[in-house]
Structure 1
């Protein structure tokens, strides 16, 4: 199963990545803002078009969203927790 993990570098994402990597049936692609992600992408600032092209290339069967923020001002929290999800949803819609 092809799995795309969003927020792979975060608190929750690291644990989810470890569990998914332990399953030999899972082909994991980790997307995050950190250097150890397979693909570096800022969901809050990236374009749906760029993410759509990436999704078209990767063809994930499952998308797991662990991306988000728990600290910051209201504007940053909205951007990281709401705008980022909207970007992902739009990219998934475009990708089919």
Structure 2
């Protein structure tokens, strides 16, 4: 029997999260080792909770605590590895 395939977080493929806010023209961009599904679940849970706080950790171990009441948009990137240069051409 073969071993189970590695998950994206076990492979070390970071997921980029872009968060835009209602009162700011700038976006917060966080790269995390969590899977796309795990991040999406955290965002949904934070939006539905009475507390209204989203907590995320980036690939460097920095933690972000975000008031979801100020969030305008959240984009959870893909876990597909990026190609560099003309590698995909």
Q: Which has the higher helix share?
A: 1
Larger Rg: 2
Q: Which structure has more strand as a fraction of its residues?
A: 2
Would the TM-score normalized by the shorter structure come out above 0.5?
A: no
